[in-house]
Amino acid sequence: MKILRKVSDTIFQIEKVCAAVLVFVMLGALVSGVAFRYLFNSPLIWSDEVAIFALVWITFVGGSMGIKLDQAASVTIITDFLKKRPQQIVFAIGWGIVFVFCLFFLIYSCIWVTSPSIGVQKSSTLQIPMLYPYLSVPFGFFCLTFHTLSKFADSLFDWREKGE
């Protein structure tokens, strides 16, 4: 349990650095694109594409960070009325379902990015392999899967050890 939490915390620290860098890249691309377009009357054709790719990466990394921090949207109208023990059971089942969902999408996103068609695609402006933007999906789901596994293990521990 402690090992899972430590690995999840380490992944979270990596995600924080990635998110900060990606926000800086996106901001820099957008600001430079606007500056070159309106101040120098010479638009940068690549700035929008860089900003879009950074936004895609931020979306998957940020979604994973939201799960780690328990900041994801949730509907708690039913669980708010439950007593502690049934509430812990519902949370454990919920984290188990989310874990299976994330694991499923992790497996299929890995299959997707390793397919031959992905290897030949290039971005329209930068002409970089589309594998790099597409890798945001398996990376995000890898982090999500690990965070949900940690949350699932914690909820099982809470259910078994701290029940009423």
How confident is the model over 76-97, as pLDDT tens digits? Answer: 888 888 888 888 888 899 999 9
The amino acid at residue 120 is: V
**Is the per-residue pLDDT at 164 higher than 60?**
no
pTM for the whole structure: 0.88
HEC profile for the chain? CHHHHHHHHHHHHHHHHHHHHHHHHHHHHHHHHHHHHHCCCCCCCCHHHHHHHHHHHHHHHHHHHHHHCCCCCCCCCCHHHCCHHHHHHHHHHHHHHHHHHHHHHHHHHHHHHCCHHHHHCECCCCCCECHHHHCHHHHHHHHHHHHHHHHHHHHHHHHHHCCC
Dump pLDDT digits (tens) for 47-80.
999 999 999 999 999 999 999 999 988 888 888 8
- Please give the share of the chain, as a percent, with pLDDT higher than 90: 77
What's the pLDDT score for residue 27? 97
Q: What is the spatial distance between Cα 54 and Cα 84, in angstroms, rounded to a whole number?
A: 42
How many Cβ atoms from other residues are within 10 Å of residue 74's Cβ? 9
Q: For 107-138, how does the pLDDT look when each residue is reduced to its tens digit (9 = 90+)?
A: 999 999 999 999 899 999 999 999 999 999 99
